[in-house]
A and B are shown apart, each in its own frame.
Chain A
């Protein structure tokens, strides 16, 4: 049995194909999300990699911001449920998952049985999300992918106290005008995201092990700042950005096996 999960986010589209509810056979990721050709490209990409067609897939589950718009889905599930399933698949025994995506942040508390027990999401603003990092990257003229490397060179991280993206932008400009080094400002920006999302995590009964998922998980500076803020190790896997798609494939497999 092959099940396919497609996670259509605000900035990326991801797919994962699972065989018999156990082993992932192929994954794909495109850097364009809802409203673009990214989801179709990711979908076709994962099928091509596996050498199969849509007819060979027993069940497709869509998740993410664009899940409702994906017409070729047999099922739909929230990204919270899917990230939880993906996280537990990669880290068995996982109790807390912190997902920072392109436009929102979520913290999921997971029970001992691997099911979602509770969750919180960010407020309706860009603070503490990938969008916040994108805005800062444009301002600092440094790609987000280089943030971790730049932050590692920081000797004295700048203090970015504003959580509002617009105000933080002004604060960054003020820091640069005052002569702060770019790497110190980048480290400060990463800490700002970690503080914002970390405070969200503290609203829950946070238990270890803790892991990160979503695109921002690739940023080691944010991970380290989050670990420091929460005073717990934050686990990371190279597939962190795919947890949603993987979880959707697992969700589909579970539903199919119940039929």
Chain B
């Protein structure tokens, strides 16, 4: 297959159509909310995990559950749930990784009673022995609730097998993240990351492998590039503007993109302990406790390694964890002499004039 043909498959991964396809095949779907859910467990139980990160929709019905100043990602998840977009799903797993997510879990029970809410409660101090035990207890709760909601059964061996599949996919996505900036537009790059939340992992991994092989014969793109950071980077208008300006995404530190694939679970020992070890080993993320805030160094290092011209911070409006980290990232970039632009985005944006002007000016500055 040619590069464009493969990319078209990623772009065609429509979550609504895929949901209907899985249901028609008699498969059970479990929704996974941001930022990190133990997808491997869901996969190992023969269920289909589908990521829900909201959508660019007008918020109407969900407003009764939220104040005005709360992240529109979680608001739009509830909005879609109330509209019936997720109907047919057997459950939703919502982690407790930020204040908004803690709230959404409780509201979900009343707003979308037809889809059972399964909490995944993570510890703040995830690396200690007690932290790992706490995480494992959270996984056991998820397993119990999944069994009750779907009738599926958990087995340690199946989880060990799923961990291998996910680790292989992680490695491919890490490689894709490094290669994509050289050859692909921002919109195409985004389509590959986004489709990973909807397509079966084995299928997605096989397609990414094909794409990476096909890219080897491609001519690298020229022009300036940026490292993106933030929760989401899937706004069609922003991506189109980046492509219009010829700004490539050399690498990313985006929660819905590369942050998902940085850490593997060990493939030895008890698989639930391995998953807890994976969570313990994760970091450089606004919703994961890190007193040293190594995320800023990671971004600076990414710029240096890829030769990017600057950093584009796509800040989700009202996302406190990202706003706290931004100050540290800004200082680190300034100290390293790296141009940085922050553009505020949300799921309710209708007018992109200001964002486009800022991107144009940033592009002109990068030359």
Contact = CB atoms under 8 A, between A and B. Distances in A.
Nearest to B359: A78
Interface in B312-367: 334, 339, 344, 351, 353-354, 357-358, 360-361, 364-365
Contact of A78 (B334, B339, B364): B364
A80 B354 contact: no
Contacts of B361: 78-81, 116, 119
Contacts of B365: 81, 115-117
Contacts of A104: 354
A141 interface: no
Contacts of B339: 118
B358 A65 contact: no
Interface residues of A, number: 16
Interface string A98-120: 00000010000000000111110
A118 B364 CA distance: 11
Contacts of A123: 344
Contact of A77 (B354, B358, B360): B360
A124 interface: yes
Nearest to B346: A124
A232 interface: no
A81 B353 contact: no
A62 to B, nearest CB: 12
Nearest to B363: A78
B350 to A, nearest CB: 10
A121 interface: yes
Q: Among B344, B351, B357, B358, find the residue whose CB has the most chain A CB atoms closer than 10 A.
A: B357
B364 A81 contact: yes
Interface in A117-132: 117-119, 121, 123-124
Interface string B243-282: 0000000000000000000000000000000000000000
B364 A121 contact: no
Interface string A31-66: 000000000000000000000000000000000010
A124 B358 CA distance: 12
A65 B353 contact: yes
A119 B360 CA distance: 12
Nearest to A119: B361
Interface in B287-324: none
A79 B354 contact: no
A123 B354 CA distance: 9
Nearest to A116: B365
Contacts of A81: 360-361, 364-365
A77 B360 CA distance: 7
Interface string A70-93: 000000011111000000000000
Contacts of A119: 358, 361
A38 B353 CA distance: 20
Contacts of B334: 205
Given A65-B353, A116-B365, A121 B358 contact: yes
A124 B364 contact: no
A205 B364 CA distance: 20
B364 A79 contact: no
A159 B224 CA distance: 47
B240 to A, nearest CB: 13
Nearest to B342: A120
B353 A78 contact: no
B354 to A, nearest CB: 6
A253 to B, nearest CB: 15
A118 B339 CA distance: 8
A113 B339 CA distance: 16
A198 B94 CA distance: 42
A115 B364 CA distance: 10
Contacts of A80: 357-358, 361, 364
A121 B360 contact: no
Contacts of A78: 357-358, 360-361, 364
B287 to A, nearest CB: 24
Contacts of A116: 361, 364-365
A125 to B, nearest CB: 11
A14 B351 CA distance: 24
A77 B353 contact: no
A80 B364 CA distance: 10
A81 B334 CA distance: 20
Contacts of A124: 344, 351, 354
Interface in A189-248: 205
A92 B364 CA distance: 21
Interface of B: 334, 339, 344, 351, 353-354, 357-358, 360-361, 364-365
- CB-CB nearest 9 A-B residue pairs: A80-B361, A78-B361, A78-B360, A81-B364, A116-B365, A78-B357, A81-B361, A78-B364, A121-B358
30 contacts: A77-B360, A77-B364, A78-B357, A78-B358, A78-B360, A78-B364, A79-B357, A79-B361, A80-B357, A80-B358, A80-B361, A80-B364, A81-B360, A81-B361, A81-B364, A104-B354, A115-B365, A116-B364, A117-B365, A118-B339, A119-B358, A119-B361, A121-B354, A121-B357, A121-B358, A123-B344, A124-B344, A124-B351, A124-B354, A205-B334
Given A80-B358, A81-B364, A116-B364, 11 more contacts: A78-B357, A78-B361, A80-B357, A80-B364, A81-B361, A81-B365, A119-B361, A121-B357, A121-B358, A123-B344, A124-B354
